Amino acid sequence: MTSDDLRAWQSAMQFTYDSAADALGVSRATYANYINDHTRIPKMLGLACAALCAKLESWTA
């Protein structure tokens, strides 16, 4: 996932910086670092974005 992909996801989900960060379980500062290409976006975050887009809930066994 690239920062452009993350921006597109945020827009598609109609999230603000704060609501996107909250949905992904990261701080606003960490989210901003992802958006601004200051920090590599982990694969796990891309998977979380896909899960949220698909309206999946947390896994429980």
Tell me the pLDDT tens digit for each residue of 31-52: 999 999 999 999 999 999 999 9
| Other Cβ atoms closer than 10 A to 51 | 13
Sorted by sequence, the CB contacts under 8 Å of residue 18 that are 6+ apart come out as: 28
How is residue 6 written in tokens? 């993350």
Beta strands in the chain (DSSP E): none
Sorted by sequence, the CB contacts under 8 Å of residue 16 that are 6+ apart come out as: none
* pLDDT higher than 90, residue 2: yes
**Amino acid 32: pLDDT:** 98
pTM of the model: 0.90
At the topology level, CATH places domain 3-53 in: 434 Repressor (Amino-terminal Domain) (1.10.260)
* pLDDT higher than 90, residue 20: yes
